Amino acid sequence: MKLSTGHHHCSHVLLLGLVLVNDVSMGSEATKRDQESYKVQFTQKELKERLTPQEYHVTQEKGTERAFTGKLVDNKKKGTYRCTVCGKELFLSDAKFDSGSGWPSFWETSKDGSVREILDRSHGMTRTEVTCADCGAHLGHVFDDGPRPTGLRYCINSASLKFDPSKGAGEKKKSEL
Ligand SMILES: [Zn+2]
């Protein structure tokens, strides 16, 4: 009798603690991301279930994958690069170039308004952060040392991108030759 009462008491306290921790972390997440200004919203719970731990870290906590480790760094196939969180079309293979940086690099976005650019003063640097315009997922940064014609270099984490070869008409032509 004594044992079972004690156990019950303990688990109740533990449960209360978990709920509190959860509330705190969700609150800080929303503040950090300024999420209300994005039209596509997901709950933290859904994203944790759907994304890999690295995808979650990069897109939701502004993480950066280690250089040359991303799955799309050397991808040269024709197609569309979409937001890994919401599927929005972000970049096209025609604008991808080999920057030597170790991250997928593009000299333009697929359309005006595909991404949002935000001043980022973190880590003692002044950079321009790039997020998905629809859901706010962190993608990477844009620098002004890219190739012509734009002179821009969108330096994007593979973990933020899903490659969609379905629009790759060019690839088919090449293999037919
Ligand atoms: Zn998105």
Question: CB neighbours (10 Å) of residue 95?
Answer: 18
pLDDT attached to residue 34: 65
Q: Among this protein's residues, is 83 annotated catalytic? A: no
pLDDT attached to residue 42: 95
3-state secondary structure 50-118: HCCHHHHHHHHHCCCCCCCCCCCCCCCCCCEEEECCCCCEEEEHHHEECCCCCCCEECCCCCCCCEEEE
Instruction: Output the CA 23–ligand 1 centroid distance in Å.
Output: 24
Give the global pTM: 0.76
Strand partners, 154: 106, 142
What tens digit of pLDDT does each residue of 75-85 get?
999 999 999 99
Instruction: Output the CA 87–ligand 1 centroid distance in Å.
Output: 6
| Residues of the chain with confidence (pLDDT) below 50 | 1-32, 167-168, 170-177
pLDDT attached to residue 117: 97
* CA proximity to 39, closest of 76, 83, 102: 83
pLDDT attached to residue 25: 40
* CA proximity to 115, closest of 85, 145, 149: 85
